[in-house]
Amino acid sequence: MDDLKQFRQWGSKTPGHPENFETDGIEVTTGPLGMGISNAVGLAAAEAHLAAAYNKPDFTLIDHYTYTIAGDGCMQEGISHEACAYAGHLGLGKLIAFYDDNGITIDGHTDLSFTEDVGKRFEAYGWQVLVVDKGDEDVDAIRKAIAEAKACTDKPTLIKVKTTIGFGSPNKADSHDAHGAPLGADEAEATRKQLSWNYGEFEVPEHVYAAFKKQADAGAAKQAEWDKLFAAYKEKEPELAAQFERAVLNRKLPENWDECLPKLTEKDNGKATRLHSQDCLNAIAPVLPEFMGGSADLAPSNMTLMKCTGDFLKDSYSERNFRFGIREFGMGAVCNALSLDKTGIIPYCATFTIFTDYMRSAIRIAALSQAGTIFVTTHDSIAVGEDGPTHQPIETIPSLRLIPDLTVMRPADGNETAGAYKYAVERSKNESRPTMMAFSRQALPNLPNSSIENTLKGAYAVVECSDPEVIIVGTGSEVHVCVDAAKSMDQKVRVVSMPSVEVFRAQSDSYKESLLPKGVPTLSVEAACTSGWDEFSTAQVGINVFGASAPGGTCLEKFGFTAENVKECAEKCLKGETGVLSDGTQGKH
Amino acid sequence: MDDLKQFRQWGSKTPGHPENFETDGIEVTTGPLGMGISNAVGLAAAEAHLAAAYNKPDFTLIDHYTYTIAGDGCMQEGISHEACAYAGHLGLGKLIAFYDDNGITIDGHTDLSFTEDVGKRFEAYGWQVLVVDKGDEDVDAIRKAIAEAKACTDKPTLIKVKTTIGFGSPNKADSHDAHGAPLGADEAEATRKQLSWNYGEFEVPEHVYAAFKKQADAGAAKQAEWDKLFAAYKEKEPELAAQFERAVLNRKLPENWDECLPKLTEKDNGKATRLHSQDCLNAIAPVLPEFMGGSADLAPSNMTLMKCTGDFLKDSYSERNFRFGIREFGMGAVCNALSLDKTGIIPYCATFTIFTDYMRSAIRIAALSQAGTIFVTTHDSIAVGEDGPTHQPIETIPSLRLIPDLTVMRPADGNETAGAYKYAVERSKNESRPTMMAFSRQALPNLPNSSIENTLKGAYAVVECSDPEVIIVGTGSEVHVCVDAAKSMDQKVRVVSMPSVEVFRAQSDSYKESLLPKGVPTLSVEAACTSGWDEFSTAQVGINVFGASAPGGTCLEKFGFTAENVKECAEKCLKGETGVLSDGTQGKH
C-alpha cells in the first residue's frame, strides 16, 4: 500500500510505466507503444517451444496462456504489425490479446488519425478475432470470449473490447483528460460515487484481500501438484529432466560448455567473421539446447542457421531456428521476451548492422530491462560495398556503444569471434544482459596473439612492443590493417585490438594503463565515425561521411582504410598531431 | 550506357540502390525495406495538398499520380503498416502501389515467414485492392488495373501483381538466386534465348530509343501547355500565382521572412522551450504557406499545432496540420518525401526525443538523401520525469549527433529556439537538409546574451569573462544551471551555451579558439551521456546510466544536474581533473 501511495515517486516500486527490474511480478518493461504486444508474442513462443521440447504423454510440464492488453497506440505502431503477423504465421494458439478499443489517444478521438478496421487486419494475419461490445461492465462477455479464445488452439486470438477511457468519471470519461493526468480529488470522489464504490482513498476492502489470498493459496497448491509431476517426470525421463533442471529451472550453463568453441591460430585460413560466427553458433547449438534464434530474412547473409535443428514453425515448435521474416523491430521484442520469460532461453537475433536502426528501441529496452538477447549483426562497415550508403554503417556501431548497459563486440578474427560468443552467452544466461556483435562481410586473416582469453579483456596487444613510441588501436576488420601498417614502420609500434570498448573499460586501472599508457601517442583506427575515441586515443582514423556504392575493397581504399594511410597517420600521431587525421572526406566524389 | 556498364562501381550514377543524390530522375533514396512505399504516401500527400491549395476552376495546375512498387519485404516491415494505414485514412486516391508478389525473399519461399493475406490487410486500411494474376506477361491486365485504380478517386489502390522473380531465366527463375547476384554470362544468354530477345549485352534496339524519344517529345509538349496554363493563371490569380512561383517553382523563402520570429530578453518570463517552439511554429505558419507538418499523436505535448490552419484530412487537403497518428517511422518517411517532392514544402514532424529511436532510419536517410525534414522533439532529458527511463533520453541526442550531415539543435531558451527555427527552416528550404531539434518539457529562464545571431554560431558566451580560469559549456536546459554555478564561484568563469555542436564545428578556427581557448580547463554539462564531449571539454558532467521514474526536478537533482554539483565539478576541473567527473551513478537506487 505504501508503494501504491508512492506512484511515480523516486525509488518506488510503482514507476510510471511497468518496469520488470523495479517490481516483482512484472514480466517485461513496456511503455514504448507496441512493445508489450510484441513481447507477448515472444512469451507465447517460449511457451510453445518449451511445451514441445519437454512435455511427454501424461507429463504436461508446460501449459499456460499468454495474455496481453494493447491499446490504439500499439495497434498503430509498426512493431505491432510485425510481431502480430509473425504470431499469426506461427499459429500461436495460446496467445490471447485484448485490444482496449476506447477510441481515444493523446491527440483526441481516433477519428483524427486511425480509422482502419483492426479486426479485419488481424484476421488477415490469421488470428481469431472476437468482439466484446460492452467492455466496461460486461464481465461475462469477457469471460466467454476468453473461453472461445482457449477453444481455438491453432490461432492467436484478438479480443476487441469496446471500452470507455476513464469509465465512471462523470466529467472526464471518454476524453483524453483521463489518459495520464490524475483525476483530482473532487473528480475521484465523484467517480467513486458514480461507481457506488463506498471506500476511501487507498482503502482496499477486506474481501478483495481475501480473494487475492485465495488465489495465492490456489497457486501454492498448483505448485505442489506440479512438483509432484516433475518428480515423476524425473523418474521417467531422467535425461530431459536433468536438462530441464539445469537449463530452465536453475538457469545454469553446463560446466565447461565453452570447450565447444573453436580455437584458431595465425596459420588457419582467414575468413569473414560472419563465417566464424556461423561456426560458433553451430558449435554452441548442440551443447546448449536453450540456445535459439534466427535472422530477419538474412539467414544466408548473416550465416545464422543452426544445422543441428530445424525451423521453429507452426507444426515444429520444438525446433530452434526462428524465421522472423523481414521484421527487425518485432524480432528484437520477441527475443527480449524469450529471455525475460526467465526459462533460461538464450535468444539471438540477426540482421545487417545498419538495420539495428530499425530495432534500436528493442536493443535499448533489452539493456534497460535486463534481457539477455544476443544481437548478431553482419556487414558491419563500408566494406558492405555494392549495396551502397543506405546499407553501410558509419555511425551505427559508435551509436550503439552509447546505450547504457549494452556491450558491443566487434571481433577481428576467429578467436575474437569465439571470445565474443563466450562473453555474450554467459552474459545472457548468468546475468540476463544483452550483447550486440558486429561481424564483417569480408574475409579477414587470423591474428597473432588473439585468443578467447584476450578477447575477454576487451583489448590486448596483437603486436607487442615493450616500450612503444606509438600505439595503434584497431577494432574488427581494421586490426589487420593496423598490423600491416606497423610492420611497414621503422618506429617501435604496439598494435592493440579492442573488440569491446565496454569490456575494456571494466578492466583494472593497472591493466588499462599498461596496455595504453598515458603519454604515448595513440592512434585509433575504425571504419566508423571517430566520435568517442578520444577516450582511448590521441588521434583518429575513421569515416565521418556517408559511404558509396562500389566493391567493398574499393570503398575501404578510397575512404582511407589502407595500411599506407594508417602508417602515414601513425607517423603524424607520433609527431604529436592530435584529433581526427583521416575522416573519409578524401573519398567523397 | 556507360553508366549502366558501371552498375555498382565507384563514382557511377548506377549505385546498388536508387539514390536521388547520385542520379537524376530518382525521386527518393530507398533500399531499406518499406521506405519506398512510405515515401510514396508522402509524395501523394504533397500532390493532394498542392492541388487543393492552388488548383482553381479551369486551372488544374497540379494533377498527377504517384506510383510505387513494393515487395514482400516492404509488406513485412512495420513502416509499411504505419504509412499505408495512414494513406488509407487520408483516402489518397491518386496513390497507386504495385505489390510485386513473387513469393521469394532472401531466406527462400515466403511460406517460411510470411503467410498473411496482404490484400485483406490493405482493405482493412481502406484501400482498393486489385489483383493481376499473370504479372509476368499480361501487360493488358496491368493496364486495366491502372485504369481501375484511377477510377477510384477516394481510396489509394494496391495492385497485387503475381510475378516470377528472375522471369525468363531457365535455371534461376522463382528462386532467391535471382535476387541480388548477377545471372552470369551463360544464364543471361539462356534467358535472352528463352525470352526471344535477339540482342546482345548492353544492346538497346533502336525502336526502344525511339519510344523513349517520343515520350520526351510528348513531355515537352505537355510542359509548353502547362506554361500557357500558368501564364493565364497568373492573370486570374495573381496573388496565389506569386506564392506558387516563390514557394513551389523557385523554392525561395520570402525576404526577411525571419522577422516573424520572436525575440526575448532576460526579463521575459521563462518557459519550456517546447512552448517557445510552439510560438515559433505559429509565427512561421502564417508567413510560410509551404510550412506543414505535425506530431505522432503528441500534439498537446509536443505543442506542434499551427493555429492558423486546420487538419490535413481526407476532405481538407488544403490544410496543413498533419495528424500522423502513433506512427513515428512512417511519419518520418512521409515528411522526407514531402521535402524530396521538390515543390518547396518545408515539412516538420514531432515526437518525444526518446522515440526518435523508432524513426532513426528515417532520420538517417533524411541526412543521406538530402531531405529538408525538420524533426521537432520534446521531453529531451531525464527531466521528462514520471514517465520513467523508457521515456528519458540518455544517449539519444549524442547518438543523433553522430549521423553525418544531420544538424542537432538543443536550445536553452526562447531566443535560441527562434535561432534554431531560423536555421532549420533555411536549411530545409535553401539547402534541402534536415535538422533535429530537442526541446525541454520543463520551464527554463531566458538567458543573458542569448540571441538568434548567437545561436547561429553554434556556441557563444552567455556569461562573458575576458580571461577565464575555467569555462563551463552547457546545452539546452543545463545552461542556466551552469550560469547559477558560475555565479556562486569566486573564480573567473566563462559560461558558454552550445545549442549546436555541428554548427559550432563549422565556425572559423579563430572564433572557436577565442570562445574555447586551448589550455583553459573546460567543463561540459549536458543531461545526456558524456561520450563525444572530449572534443570541446577537458572534463564532463553527464549521465551514463538510465534514469528513473520520479518528478523531473527530483531526477535532475538526484543525477547531479544542480548548480552545486556543477560548481564542485568546475572547481575540480580548474584544479586539473579531467574526464567524466559526474556520470549520474550517484543517483542509482
pLDDT category at A105 given cuts 50, 70, 90 is: confident
Mean pLDDT, to the nearest integer, of B511-517? 98
Amino acid sitting at position B354: I
Q: A113 and A44, same structural domain?
A: yes
pLDDT category at B588 given cuts 50, 70, 90 is: confident
Q: Is A33 annotated as a binding residue?
A: yes
Q: Is A72 annotated as a binding residue?
A: yes
Tell me the C-alpha distance between A277 and A273, whole Å.
Answer: 6
DSSP state of B357: G
Q: B23 and B40, same structural domain?
A: no
CATH number at residue A143: 3.40.50.970
Q: Is B64 annotated as a binding residue?
A: no
At residue A274, φ and ψ (nearest 5 deg) are -65, -30
Q: B43 and B14, same structural domain?
A: no
CATH number at residue B544: 3.40.50.920
Q: B46 and B22, same structural domain?
A: no
Q: B232 and B217, same structural domain?
A: yes
Phi-psi region of A199 (alpha: psi -120 to 50; beta: other; left: phi over 0): beta
Q: How many domains is chain B built from? A: 5
- pLDDT for the residue numbered B181: 86
Strand order in the sheet with B66-70: B66-70, B95-101, B157-162, B128-132
Tell me the C-alpha distance between A306 and A309, whole Å.
Answer: 6
Q: Would you say residue B191 lies in a domain?
A: no
- pLDDT for the residue numbered B470: 98
Q: Would you say residue A498 lies in a domain?
A: yes
DSSP state of B56: B
- pLDDT for the residue numbered A82: 98
Q: Is the pLDDT of residue B541 over 90?
A: yes
Q: A551 and A489, same structural domain?
A: yes
Mean pLDDT, to the nearest integer, of B179-195? 93
Amino acid sitting at position B342: K
Beta carbons of B360 and A400 less than 8 angstroms apart: no
Q: A96 and A28, same structural domain?
A: yes
Mean pLDDT over each residue of chain B, to the nearest integer: 97
Report the chain A residue with the minimal C-alpha distance to residue B108.
Answer: A297
Q: Is the pLDDT of residue A144 over 70?
A: yes
Q: B486 and B424, same structural domain?
A: no
At residue A326, φ and ψ (nearest 5 deg) are -85, 70
- Across the interface, whether the CB atoms of A297 and B329 are under 8 A apart is answered no
Tell me the C-alpha distance between A142 and A98, whole Å.
Answer: 10
Mean pLDDT, to the nearest integer, of B152-175? 96
Q: Would you say residue B46 lies in a domain?
A: yes
User: Which residue range is the domain that position A104 belongs to?
Assistant: 14-163
Q: Packing angle between helix A35-54 and helix A78-90, nearest 10 degrees? A: 20
Q: Would you say residue A168 lies in a domain?
A: no
- Across the interface, whether the CB atoms of A550 and B388 are under 8 A apart is answered no
Q: Packing angle between helix A35-54 and helix A328-340, nearest 10 degrees? A: 60
Taking a contact as any Cβ pair under 8 Å apart, which residues of chain B between 510 and 539 contact chain A?
529, 531-532, 534-535
Q: Would you say residue A174 lies in a domain?
A: no
Q: Is A147's Cβ below 8 Å from some Cβ in B?
A: no
From the list B15, B5, B124, the residue with the least C-alpha distance to B368 is B15
- pLDDT for the residue numbered A589: 66
Mean pLDDT, to the nearest integer, of B318-340? 98
Report the chain A residue with the minimal C-alpha distance to residue B78.
Answer: A78
Q: Would you say residue B188 lies in a domain?
A: no
Mean pLDDT, to the nearest integer, of B213-240? 97
Mean pLDDT over each residue of chain A, to the nearest integer: 97
Catalytic pick among B27, B47, B290, B328? B328
- pLDDT for the residue numbered B225: 98
pLDDT category at A107 given cuts 50, 70, 90 is: confident
pLDDT category at A180 given cuts 50, 70, 90 is: confident
Which of A12, A13, A158, A402 should one mutate to test binding to chain B, selecting the residue with the greatest count of B CBs within 10 A? A402
Q: Is B303's Cβ below 8 Å from some Cβ in A?
A: no
Instruction: Give the cell for residue B388.
Output: 520513467
Instruction: Give the cell for residue B167.
Output: 522471369
- pLDDT for the residue numbered B105: 87
Q: Would you say residue B179 lies in a domain?
A: no
Domain boundary residue, one of A444, A467, A492: A444
Report the chain B residue with the minimal C-alpha distance to residue A295.
Answer: B107
Amino acid sitting at position B178: A
Q: Is the pLDDT of residue B459 over 80?
A: yes
Q: Is A589 annotated as a binding residue?
A: no
Q: B354 and B484, same structural domain?
A: no
Q: Strand runs (DSSP E) across B36-186, as ranges?
A: 66-70, 95-101, 104-105, 108-109, 128-132, 157-162
Q: Is the pLDDT of residue A588 over 80?
A: no
- pLDDT for the residue numbered B8: 95
Tell me the C-alpha distance between A566 and A584, whole Å.
Answer: 12
Domain boundary residue, one of B128, B163, B198: B163
Residue appearing with cell numbers 530491462: A369
Q: Is the pLDDT of residue B589 over 70?
A: no
Residue B404 makes CB contacts below 8 A (sequence gap 6+) with A394, A395, A529, A544, A545, A546, B367, B368
Report pLDDT digits (tens) over B107-150: 889 999 999 999 999 999 999 999 999 999 999 999 999 999 99
Q: Is the pLDDT of residue A223 over 90?
A: yes
Mean pLDDT, to the nearest integer, of A572-581? 97
- Identify the residue with better confidence: A104 or B218: B218
Phi-psi region of B257 (alpha: psi -120 to 50; beta: other; left: phi over 0): alpha
Q: B325 and B220, same structural domain?
A: no
Share of chain B above pLDDT 70, in %: 100
Phi-psi region of A584 (alpha: psi -120 to 50; beta: other; left: phi over 0): left
Q: Is the pLDDT of residue A429 over 80?
A: yes
Instruction: Give the cell for residue A454.
Output: 584476450
- Across the interface, whether the CB atoms of A365 and B124 are under 8 A apart is answered no
Report pLDDT digits (tens) over B73-82: 999 999 999 9
Q: A238 and A128, same structural domain?
A: no
Report pLDDT digits (tens) over B400-423: 999 999 999 999 999 999 999 999
- Across the interface, whether the CB atoms of B298 and A121 are under 8 A apart is answered no
Tell me the C-alpha distance between A361 and A82, whole Å.
Answer: 14
- pLDDT for the residue numbered A179: 86
Q: B400 and B262, same structural domain?
A: yes
Is the confidence metric ipTM above 0.90 for this complex? Answer: yes
Q: Is the pLDDT of residue A291 over 70?
A: yes
Q: Would you say residue A180 lies in a domain?
A: no
Report pLDDT digits (tens) over A529-551: 999 999 999 999 999 999 999 99
Taking a contact as any Cβ pair under 8 Å apart, which residues of chain B between 209 and 268 contact chain A?
none
